[in-house]
Structure 1
Amino acid sequence: MSQNQAEGAVVTVGNKMFGRDWKFHSESDEIIDLDTLPQSSNIRTVEKSIEVVTLDQIVKEIINSEHQTVVTYHGDG
């Protein structure tokens, strides 16, 4: 799934299932509010940080586990 498809899925599901009024950054014209998706370039920048935070949390879970832990991680990015 491309980034545009993922954003479209978030907007569609949020609007139809949860009665939201989410919109794409490009649709917002000059009005940017809490229902506006971030700009695509900002999403791509933050993705790397999210992966680092996720991997950090996985390591903490392994270290704090009292049992042997098997972790499978798959990142397609």
Structure 2
Amino acid sequence: MEVSDAAYNCLWYADRNVARDVLLVQIRAQNPCKLTAFGFADVNYMSFSKIMSTSWSYFALLNTMYNENQEN
């Protein structure tokens, strides 16, 4: 509700276009917004950092194996 309250406390009454946009922001702020990976899992900071860490590990392993094959 903080987003909705902040939108209400701005100068929304100064301009008709701004009033319409503020109303839209208030409506959208009523429901929480979350990012999902194709509906399979929620994407948040913890899952993103785990995916990036695992990806880097796989990349480092493949890069090491590739470089060893280039030397032979």
Q: TM-score, normalised by structure 2?
A: 0.39
Q: Which has the higher helix share?
A: 2
Q: TM-score, normalised by structure 1?
A: 0.37
